[in-house]
Structure 1
């Protein structure tokens, strides 16, 4: 039996966060392929042109990025999600602890969870629960 590889997109402008998250996910022992995007536009482009390629099982999205932030990404994603073959759970991951951000996440149906940085084993378990 061939185990399918689960795709995870990480959309964050912090290269160190990509490195840490990838290492923490690899410790899980699951068959994962992590694709890093340093800007949201590139991730959207990849999703729009995913014909024939497997879609990610999960998107981990930073809130505060240059040019296009996480909220802009969600707005753009809403415009393309009807063309995707599956709905993709999105977890917003940010260092913000502002209650307005947390409330906005709760009102955004595309977002399944809000996880604050830095990551720890408990937060990693939350992420793994969506894989």
Structure 2
């Protein structure tokens, strides 16, 4: 039997954000499994260790985290993505409204979108486009 669940990785060091996004996405999508990672290193380990069919449909990535930030994650992901069977869209989600961050996102091909916290219905629609 085929597993119809879509998997979303949420990589963010804020546990409250994990709770909120799980609740909001759960209201919008029935067949969604949200996997939470409080640090980027754990998400990278999971991506490199898992069998290919269980890859996430989407990664929601915080920009500012302890130890390894979102940009560091993308650098590490670039080295890993050649071994993955599919290209995983990444949406960066941050409280930063710095224009330089937004410009950097535009020049980062792995990133599909940049959304600012807090989440609302319109920002959720952007996420849903990539599910």
TM-score after normalising by structure 1: 0.96
Aligned residues: 131
The residue that corresponds to 2:80 in the other structure is 80
- Paired residues for 1:30-45 under 5 Å: 30-45=30-45
Distance 1:58 1:19 in 2: 17
Structure 1: tracts of 5 or more residues without a match: none
Which consecutive aligned stretches of 4+ in structure 1 deviate over 4 angstroms post-superposition? none
Q: CA RMSD in A?
A: 1.3
1:8 aligns with 2:35: no
Distance 1:66 1:5 in 2: 30
The residue that corresponds to 2:113 in the other structure is 113
Contact 2:52 2:84 in 1 (8 A): no
Distance 1:65 1:81 in 2: 21
The residue that corresponds to 1:130 in the other structure is 130
Structure 2: tracts of 5 or more residues without a match: none
Distance 1:46 1:82 in 2: 15
Q: Which moved more, 1:69-78 or 1:2-11?
A: 2-11
Which structure has more helix as a fraction of its residues? 2
Q: Which moved more, 1:50-59 or 1:37-46?
A: 50-59
Distance 1:51 1:101, change over 3 A: same
- Paired residues for 1:22-101 under 5 Å: 22-101=22-101
